[in-house]
Structure 1
Amino acid sequence: MPAAAVDYARPGPPICVTRVTVGSYPEAVTSTSLPPGPRLPRAVQAALMLRFGPRFVAWCRRRFGSAFTLRVASMGTLVYLTDPADIKTVFAGDPRIYHAGEANSMLKGLLGETSVLVVDEDLHRDRRRLMLAPFARDAVAKQASVIAEIAADNIADWPVGTAFPAAPRMSQITLEVILRTVIGATDPARLAALRAVMPELLRVGPWQTLALLDPGLMRRRPWRTLREAIAEADRLLYAEIADRRADPDLAQRTDALAMLVAAADDDGREMTDLELRDQLMTLLLAGHDTTATGLSWALERLTRHPAILSRAVRAAHDGDDDYLDAVAKETLRIRPVVFDVGRILTEPVELAGHRLPAGVMVVPGMVVVHSSDAVYPDADRFDPERMLAATPSPSTYLPFGGGNRRCLGATFATVEFRVVLREILRRVELEPTTAAGERQRLKHVIFVPHRGARIRVRSIVSPAAATFPAAE
């Protein structure tokens, strides 16, 4: 995320004179009102966010109220919002003022300058409109049988009687799902190459991030491996794009890339190869690890709640998709995969009882809202039942973000989550455990189980006994 250059006349007090310079915004001196917040140095706040993110934010909520200011090294000035009414205001805000793409600008080095995640205003609206078709409900439903097949093939090789981390298996499944349903890759050699290179990009750490923020570093030896991985991914993705453009049966294909190649705006303009590459890279990186992590947390939670696990197994065999969806929703509530979503203000706004200056990032506090007893009674309890009888508000249930920036692939992720979880519960007998729950560990921008969601399989059910229609 971009750091805003903000100089405070006196750090700490809620009323101050603020001089703000962000990107190309004009420099101005205005009277502003920032919520209170910790007076710790920026580097210390950054370390606390990296090591104790949810607990640090929860402490700030208790200490400073529903809105508070953090000053975090490399991220700038963040105003956290935990009142659903304020969150609703942000999600409904004018896209010209609330810039989500700018808040994600640190991702440009990997996703590309035209990624739907890093652009704003009219360009974002038009790009998103072109990308809707592959993620419409009917289009996603056509992919359910392929998702089930991929999951079943992976599950067949799971070890029996030995504890193992589920997270790597979930990553294998979700990566294969994207390669075959989103990219539509079928060439064996190219598929193998994509399977090898994409995990390399997903393992980008703080050291590699320096080169993403400053692409000039890519020419230097320490970042050569990252540069080569991006170049290899580009080569493979451009080859897939060329194949799709040359396919005489393009209209009959169901993969997302085929639909994106065929998509055109009202003026008949289609996406260029570069734009297609950036969207594919976005879908690969944003849609792979997040869903895999959500599934890992689901298995971690289910194995620690035997009664819920038993009901989920019955639901998988009986075709009770409502209960499986409830398990998914509750998992993403109690173990949010993404820590937060941000918007950088392009001009001052009145919000949460304060006049916030341009250049600060407003952050709907997902982890705080999801763990609020006022919003979700007994919020620390894993209880899928709570999701059966209610439709959570878009300002209190935030795993896919909200507003005009709500995750484009939310429907796809929901179906994938349900289908993969159903195949697991139908094909293996999971052993419950009394072990303590796994801690949340921050990996890049997502929270993963610190031991990889270790599970133990008692037995694998024969495929014939597990036969169940996968179509939605």
Structure 2
Amino acid sequence: MSEATIAAHRSTADAESAPPRPVRLPPTPRIPKLLQGLGFSFSRQWTVAQIVRRYGDVFSMTLPVFGPTVMVADPALAKQLFMANTDDVGNIQPNLSRVLGSGSVFALDGGDHRKRRKLLTPPFHGKSIKNYETIFEEETLREAANWPEGQPFETLEPMMRITLNAILRAVFGADGAHLDELRRIIPPWVTLGSRLAVLPTPHRTYGRFSPWGRLAAYRRQYDDVIGRLIDAVQADPDFDTRDDILALLLRSTYEDGSTMSRQDIGDELLTLLAAGHETTAATLGWAFERISRHPEVLAKLVAEAETDGNEYRQATILEIQRSRTVIDFAGRHVYAPTFELGEWVIPQGYSIVVAIGQVHKRAQDFDDPDRFDPQRYIGQRPPTFAHIPFGGGTRRCVGAAFANVEMDIVLRTVLRHFVIETTAAPGEKMHSRGVAYTPKDGGRVVMRRR
């Protein structure tokens, strides 16, 4: 063994044996814990923004559900957190698995999480997504056939239906009675689950008339449908050549040759359906709200939609994601005895939450951040950890590319077939649906067919 290798081993051993640095927490707002919790529960974006303004980009809070927490609004610290060793900081606790199930990728950590992501990645990249573009266009035109002309209407709910139907077709590969059942079950389940996900979980459901009881009832209906769908897909003579996500997951194996259980597949599909359609629809709702208030942006989008290009449309999507952040936080849980975050030392058991909405509004990274300006991305990409609508690191949204292509095709299709009227009305306020933020009035616009 060389001297250099011996020295390296000695250095590693010394680092592992060295005592952890003393805990050093960021400042805590001089606000009673009860008021901190209430503010975060009922108006978290406003609350965090006020504290950032007074205490800076890193501070400590005690939050409902998550407990003692360090909030971060600095891209450099966000990068450090997202790129950290997953043995030191892992999945935030509790997480969306409370609603989506223990087999969801949201529930997994460490090696189990890495293995699951490896199975989920192929259906959401490259050629697979290219195959879905026709679905996105067809579903947009099918929904748009019933849009009123010349009078205001909310775009959010139509976008919910488009994105749900598109992902149902991409997941299951066809229409049918089973998918009609899911179209009935998923929307109210997502709305209820999104609200309950940010609240403490009770020890029991308190019966079928309670919110948690209704959530459990939706889950039982869903499990029944998914069980029948899996049977139908596996019995399909063309099972080995199907390219829908359900078939791909059923055929996929881990490195040791094992497969996902039916329960895990059900949880994972529920995750894709719930997380994949609401957030994308919310961003599209904001897209119509924003472009109808910025005539110069709309004019450029209309001109580009007549071509095969999408540079300005992609820039517009990036700016919508920045200026109207739909999912405003992403977090990790400290598993190591201590975790060094910049100058701070965070103890085991703490949560560290990146305030994505605040990261997106930093004047240091975005000139005049309150201005809606897609042009800022023409010819350049946004700073990697200053623009994080899909989170970052090993837990970045696995369906990010799918969502991006879907938003691009839906916008292009609408722009090609409709004239969107501009308005001088004030911008819609942000409305919390629990996990996601949507336009308060549903992204109301007036359209006419071309």
- TM-score, normalised to structure 1's length? 0.87
Instruction: Name the structure 2 match of 1:197.
Output: 185
Answering whether residue 442 of structure 2 is matched by residue 438 of structure 1, we say no
Answering whether residue 86 of structure 2 is matched by residue 95 of structure 1, we say yes
RMSD in angstroms over aligned alpha carbons? Answer: 2.0
Cα offset, 1:220, TM superposition: 5.6
Secondary structure at the counterpart of residue 128 of structure 1: helix
Answering whether residue 404 of structure 2 is matched by residue 405 of structure 1, we say no
- TM-score, normalised to structure 2's length? 0.91
Instruction: Name the structure 2 match of 1:182.
Output: 171
Of 352, 368, 373, which residue of structure 2 is paired with 1:362?
Answer: 352
Q: Say if 1:51 and 1:434 are closer, same or farther in 2 by CA, change over 3 A.
A: farther
Secondary structure at the counterpart of residue 143 of structure 1: helix
Of 289, 295, 311, which residue of structure 2 is paired with 1:306?
Answer: 295
Q: Say if 1:208 and 1:362 are closer, same or farther in 2 by CA, change over 3 A.
A: closer
Identity within the alignment, %: 34
Aligned mates of 2:45, 2:202 — CA distance in 1: 29
Instruction: Give matches, 1:260-299, under 5 Å.
Output: 260-299=249-288
Q: Say if 1:121 and 1:293 are closer, same or farther in 2 by CA, change over 3 A.
A: same
Instruction: Name the structure 2 match of 1:71.
Output: 62
Instruction: Name the structure 2 match of 1:22.
Output: none
Deviations 1:173-218 (A, max 9, x none): 001011111233422x222211111012112168855998246326
Amino acid at match of 1:192: D
Instruction: Give matches, 1:369-448, under 5 Å.
Output: 369-448=359-438
> Please, which moves more after superposition, 399-408 or 238-247?
238-247
Amino acid at match of 1:193: E
Q: Say if 1:40 and 1:111 are closer, same or farther in 2 by CA, change over 3 A.
A: same
Aligned mates of 2:243, 2:231 — CA distance in 1: 17
Amino acid at match of 2:121: L
Cα offset, 1:47, TM superposition: 2.4
Aligned mates of 1:213, 1:296 — CA distance in 2: 30
Secondary structure at the counterpart of residue 62 of structure 2: strand
Does structure 2 retain, via aligned residues, the 8 Å contact 1:244–1:258? yes
Cα offset, 1:242, TM superposition: 1.7
> Please, which moves more after superposition, 320-329 or 300-309?
320-329
Aligned mates of 2:400, 2:380 — CA distance in 1: 19
Of 119, 122, 127, which residue of structure 2 is paired with 1:130?
Answer: 119
Aligned mates of 1:452, 1:138 — CA distance in 2: 33
> Please, which moves more after superposition, 412-421 or 202-211?
202-211
Matched length: 430
Q: Which stretches of structure 1, 4 residues or more, deviate above 3 A after TM superposition?
A: 205-212, 218-221
Secondary structure at the counterpart of residue 158 of structure 1: coil
Amino acid at match of 2:407: F
Does structure 1 retain, via aligned residues, the 8 Å contact 2:99–2:193? no
> Please, which moves more after superposition, 439-448 or 166-175?
439-448
Secondary structure at the counterpart of residue 432 of structure 2: strand
Aligned mates of 1:89, 1:396 — CA distance in 2: 13
Q: Say if 1:172 and 1:112 are closer, same or farther in 2 by CA, change over 3 A.
A: same
Instruction: Name the structure 2 match of 1:239.
Output: 228
Aligned mates of 1:239, 1:40 — CA distance in 2: 52
Instruction: Name the structure 1 match of 2:9.
Output: none
Q: Say if 1:116 and 1:161 are closer, same or farther in 2 by CA, change over 3 A.
A: same
Does structure 1 retain, via aligned residues, the 8 Å contact 2:250–2:260? yes
Deviations 1:22-60 (A, max 9, x none): xxxxxxx99421101213233322222234322322222
Does structure 1 retain, via aligned residues, the 8 Å contact 2:23–2:346? yes
> Please, which moves more after superposition, 119-128 or 60-69?
60-69
Secondary structure at the counterpart of residue 385 of structure 1: helix
Instruction: Name the structure 2 match of 1:350.
Output: 340
Aligned mates of 2:430, 2:196 — CA distance in 1: 23
Q: Say if 1:266 and 1:166 are closer, same or farther in 2 by CA, change over 3 A.
A: same
Q: Say if 1:122 and 1:170 are closer, same or farther in 2 by CA, change over 3 A.
A: same
Instruction: Give matches, 1:451-462, under 5 Å.
Output: 451-457=441-447, 459-461=448-450
> Please, which moves more after superposition, 300-309 or 64-73?
64-73
Aligned mates of 1:420, 1:447 — CA distance in 2: 20
Aligned mates of 2:246, 2:381 — CA distance in 1: 32
Q: Say if 1:142 and 1:54 are closer, same or farther in 2 by CA, change over 3 A.
A: same
What are the ranges of 5 or more consecutive residues in structure 1 without an aligned counterpart? Answer: 1-28, 462-472
Answering whether residue 109 of structure 2 is matched by residue 111 of structure 1, we say no
Of 162, 165, 181, which residue of structure 1 is paired with 2:151?
Answer: 162
Answering whether residue 242 of structure 2 is matched by residue 253 of structure 1, we say yes
Cα offset, 1:404, TM superposition: 0.6
Secondary structure at the counterpart of residue 402 of structure 2: helix
Instruction: Name the structure 1 match of 2:46.
Output: 55
Instruction: Name the structure 2 match of 1:152.
Output: 141
Amino acid at match of 2:192: V
Q: Say if 1:334 and 1:206 are closer, same or farther in 2 by CA, change over 3 A.
A: closer
Q: Say if 1:454 and 1:210 are closer, same or farther in 2 by CA, change over 3 A.
A: closer
Does structure 2 retain, via aligned residues, the 8 Å contact 1:110–1:230? no
> Please, which moves more after superposition, 351-360 or 167-176?
351-360
Does structure 2 retain, via aligned residues, the 8 Å contact 1:174–1:288? yes
Does structure 1 retain, via aligned residues, the 8 Å contact 2:428–2:440? yes
